[in-house]
Copies of this chain bind each other. A is one copy, B any other.
Amino acid sequence: MKLATLDNGMPDGALVVVSADGSHYLPATAVAGTLQAAIESWATAEPALRALADRLAAGEGDGTDSASFAAPLPRAWQWLDGSAFRSHGELMETLFGTEPPPPGRPLMYQGLSHEFLSATADVPLPREEDGIDFEGEFGIITDFVPMGVTPDEAMAHIKLLVQINDWSLRAIAPIEMKTGFGWVQAKPACSFAPFAVTPDVLGDAWREGRVHLPLSVDWNGKRFGDALGGVMEFGFHELVAHAASTRSLCAGTIIGSGTVSNSNFREIGSSCIAERRGIEMLDEGKPSTQFMRFGDTVRMESRLPDGSVLFGAIDQKVVKG
């Protein structure tokens, strides 16, 4: 089942169910006004939403217009981003001279969640010299998770999967990182692909708490990466358990994978510019690829093995904010 949020001018938009191919939708506000409301009462909302999905499969529904979608959750009470791809982490450690994390402990920070950008919204940022970069990620949305949940127990709390562009400002990131306090200025609002999907939509591509699919990234219309999501050092269920060690997680908590990255990045490409620059530093002694300029575009999409639409595409332009 695919869910999405229509931008109706309200902060949380209006919930809709979308057909498997993303071409049609039915309003779901009779079930739950918003995706946040649905995830807060998932046990009762899910079957009613699936009934709408069945009607879409039978041919009902209105045609979708990708520009009318907000982020699945246009804002959330909690956004926690991991960094679960070791090949990315190792490169960043090389680039910034930082130490590897303690073994067995996922990396995670809490980020801006009062506003998420839609898949097609322009991205307003103040300065090119901040080092504007995209970060292609997969993510999950949980229902309420009690404090102290185990990774095995956490798996059942993963209700929806999403695809994210975690915008990053690379000139600021290492300065903030060095303080140990994590990122505030270096992490403006993320963007989301339009469709949040239940794990069953992925079939075998969802296993061990990981999305076993490539994330295709195009920068200014040119392929930049096709890294695979399945090689996360920690599965999403382990990220949920890490986050819930000393807090309960509210329904609608979003957890990100961190930049999708594979150790054969020289062949398969990258999901962020910083990684390519890290490779250039390793191979050529200094980075040659520059960060984004105002007017640059980035497109990110992950499709099912048969080529069919999954989360829909992120396709955005960076503009002077």
Say how far A162's CB is from chain B's closest CB, in angstroms: 18
Q: Contact check, B184 vs A109: say whether CB atoms are below 8 A apart.
A: yes
Q: Contact check, A108 vs B181: say whether CB atoms are below 8 A apart.
A: yes
A304 vs B172: C-alpha distance in the bound complex, in angstroms?
A: 40
User: Quick check: is A107 within 8 A (CB to CB) of the other chain?
Assistant: yes
Task: Give the number of chain A interface residues (Cβ < 8 Å).
Answer: 51
User: Quick check: is A83 within 8 A (CB to CB) of the other chain?
Assistant: yes
Q: Contact check, B182 vs A246: say whether CB atoms are below 8 A apart.
A: no
- Convert A82-118 into 0s and 1s, putting 1 for each residue whose CB lies closer than 8 angstroms to a CB of B: 0100000000000010110110010111111111000
For A183, the closest partner residue in chain B by CB is B182
Chain A contact residues, majority secondary structure: loop
User: Quick check: is A175 within 8 A (CB to CB) of the other chain?
Assistant: yes
A residues in contact (CB < 8 Å) with B:
75, 77-78, 80, 83, 96, 98-99, 101-102, 105, 107-115, 124-126, 130, 147-148, 169, 172, 175, 177-186, 188-189, 242-243, 245-250, 253, 321
Q: Contact check, B175 vs A105: say whether CB atoms are below 8 A apart.
A: yes
Q: Which residues of B contact A110 (CB under 8 A)?
A: 109-112, 182, 184
Q: Contact check, A181 vs B247: say whether CB atoms are below 8 A apart.
A: no
Q: Contact check, A242 vs B185: say whether CB atoms are below 8 A apart.
A: yes
For the A-B complex with A107-B179, A172-B246 known, give 10 more contacts whose Cβ atoms are closer than 8 Å: A78-B114, A105-B175, A107-B181, A114-B250, A115-B247, A126-B245, A130-B246, A148-B321, A181-B183, A184-B242
